[in-house]
């Protein structure tokens, strides 16, 4: 799929700076209540217009915030661009040379199964103790020089497609597939530049998320499962893409059929699609509209949905909550997110 060059206004100018947070100044207050832990930023956007926006003391538009696993959905969007270009096929065996040796059962793993977190690979996202997990070892300890190699070179623990297992290493494999599709080079700088240029050309720039900063490992693989840094406005821009596939100025960024795939429940996990969560939020689920969201470690949420607003008309909403909340406080955070969704639609 080729696109003509267009002139884009950044979302910060198009929406976040175009109107003062309006008639519901307290709508975000549940996200900053005493039980919320370290909430840092939140914003609610309706049809591209800011309804409410709030930072905790010490944070502002100048800050970038870590994506954690919200990056997974961004990585899936880039995979979709290559599928649209005809360079990758959703239901073909994943193009991973290490799995193509004769008799290797991993050769049957498809791109769809990787996107649905159903590869069957033996990955452990959470260890006991926590530092024993594959994810922590690869991201922060012994695997930083070649994360994709560590993620790829594990055996199956289940038949491909047979079970759901959430795994940041799976998304690193997806980022590696993108890189190998873009360049045959093994030079880390060439690989990183190829990925970065493609990501900005096909996703971040047309979305209006030009403040995104991508991290790479020592081999030049983008750490697409967890380590991208963005301004609050960038999260909103990417949330808008998740909502309707469109970016700044209404340009189509993600093809409708790929967006539909990302939002289709996977066969093994009804609340998960293609690197995208399809969940309701606890204690407020009754009457909630269908939600597609990017969820990240320590309480990062980019929540998108369409629903009738208080005026009785249907609107598109993006709700972002960013913070540093401990695992044992995330239930309260998700309850608060649910309260904001209910306040918008109720």
Q: d(Cα 123, Cα 120) in Å, to the nearest integer?
A: 9
pLDDT at res. 124:
75
Residue whose structure tokens are 């100048």: 62
**Averaged pLDDT for residues 77-106:** 97
Hey, is 89 helix, strand or coil? Answer: coil
Q: d(Cα 214, Cα 282) in Å, to the nearest integer?
A: 32
The answer to whether residues 320 and 337 touch, using CB atoms and an 8 Å cutoff, is no
Q: d(Cα 232, Cα 296) in Å, to the nearest integer?
A: 14
**Averaged pLDDT for residues 27-31:** 96
pLDDT at res. 89:
98
Q: d(Cα 173, Cα 221) in Å, to the nearest integer?
A: 9
pLDDT at res. 8:
31
Residue whose structure tokens are 């055996």: 155
pLDDT at res. 135:
77
Q: Confidence class of residue 279 from pLDDT cuts 50, 70 and 90?
A: confident
Q: Confidence class of residue 48 from pLDDT cuts 50, 70 and 90?
A: very high
Q: What angle do CA 110, 113, 119 make, to 5 degrees?
A: 95
Residue ranges with strand state E in 151-220: 213-214
Hey, is 96 helix, strand or coil? Answer: coil
pLDDT at res. 18:
40
Tens digit of each residue's pLDDT (9 = 90 or more) over 98-147: 999 999 999 999 999 999 999 999 987 775 666 667 776 777 777 788 99
Q: Which residues, other chains included, contact 179 with Cβ-Cβ below 8 Å and sequence gap of 6+? A: 191, 194, 195, 220, 221, 222
pLDDT at res. 20:
43
Q: d(Cα 222, Cα 199) in Å, to the nearest integer?
A: 10
Q: d(Cα 131, Cα 330) in Å, to the nearest integer?
A: 20
Between 309 and 285, residue with greater pLDDT: 309
Share of the chain above pLDDT 70, in %: 89
Break the chain down into helix, strand, coil percent, rounded to 5: 40, 15, 45
Q: Confidence class of residue 12 from pLDDT cuts 50, 70 and 90?
A: very low
Number of Cα atoms under 13 Å in the Cβ half of residue 318: 29
pLDDT at res. 25:
53
pLDDT at res. 131:
64
Q: d(Cα 280, Cα 345) in Å, to the nearest integer?
A: 14
């Amino acid at each position: 799929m080729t696109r003509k060059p267009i002139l884009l206004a950044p979302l910060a100018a198009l929406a976040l700076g175009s109107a003062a947070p309006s008639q519901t100044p307290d709508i975000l207050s549940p996200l900053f209540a005493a039980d919320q832990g370290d909430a840092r930023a939140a914003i609610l956007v309706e049809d591209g217009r800011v309804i409410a926006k709030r930072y905790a003391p010490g944070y502002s538009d100048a800050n970038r915030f870590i994506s954690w696993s919200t990056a997974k959905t961004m990585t899936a969007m880039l995979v979709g661009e290559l599928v649209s270009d005809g360079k990758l096929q959703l239901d073909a065996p994943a193009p991973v040379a290490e799995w193509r040796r004769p008799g290797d059962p991993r050769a049957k793993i498809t791109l769809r199964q990787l996107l649905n977190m159903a590869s069957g690979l033996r990955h452990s996202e959470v260890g006991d103790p926590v530092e024993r997990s594959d994810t922590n070892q690869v991201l922060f300890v012994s695997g930083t020089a070649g994360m994709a190699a560590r993620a790829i070179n594990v055996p199956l623990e289940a038949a491909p497609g047979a079970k759901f297992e959430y795994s940041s290493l799976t998304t690193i494999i997806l980022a590696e597939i993108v890189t190998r599709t873009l360049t045959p080079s093994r030079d880390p700088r060439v690989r990183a530049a190829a990925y970065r240029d493609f990501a900005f050309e096909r996703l971040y720039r047309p979305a209006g998320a030009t403040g995104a900063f991508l991290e790479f490992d020592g081999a030049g693989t983008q750490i697409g499962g967890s380590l991208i840094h963005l301004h609050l406005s960038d999260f909103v821009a990417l949330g808008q893409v998740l909502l309707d596939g469109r970016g700044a100025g209404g340009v189509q960024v993600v093809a409708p059929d790929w967006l539909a795939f990302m939002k289709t429940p996977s066969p093994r996990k009804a609340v998960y699609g293609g690197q995208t969560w399809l969940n309701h939020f606890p204690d407020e689920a009754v009457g909630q509209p269908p939600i597609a969201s990017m969820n990240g470690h320590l309480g990062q949420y980019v929540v998108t949905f369409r629903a009738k607003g208080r005026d009785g008309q249907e609107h598109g909403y993006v709700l972002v909550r960013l913070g540093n909340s401990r695992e044992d406080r995330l239930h309260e955070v998700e309850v608060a997110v649910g309260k904001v969704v209910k306040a918008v639609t109720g």
